[in-house]
Amino acid sequence: MAAEKFETSLKKLEDAVSRLESGELSLDDSIRVFEEGIKHAAICSRKLGEAEKKVELLLKKRDGVLIREDFAGEDDM
């Protein structure tokens, strides 16, 4: 589930920040953790950007099949 992946990435980003901020890492480890953090920051940003404004209606046809249709009910949305 992508939402979970976002939360995982956010958690990993937080971990990377707090580990790096602790100042207890060697330079090598710092760079590794930093790269890890940057990677997860990118994932988070991408996932946040992915969610685009869109409103649809979920309609059920006679045969029970569900279809989506753009929602035009509120023009101001």
Q: Scanning the structure block, which residue is given the tokens 């890492």?
A: 25
Answer for which of 8, 32, 52, 61 binds another protein (CB under 8 A) is: 52
Q: Does 50 engage in binding with another protein (CB under 8 A)?
A: yes
Binding site for another protein (CB under 8 A): 1-4, 6-7, 10, 13-14, 16-17, 20-21, 23, 25, 27, 30-31, 34, 37-38, 41, 44-45, 47-48, 50-60, 66, 68, 71, 73-74, 76-77
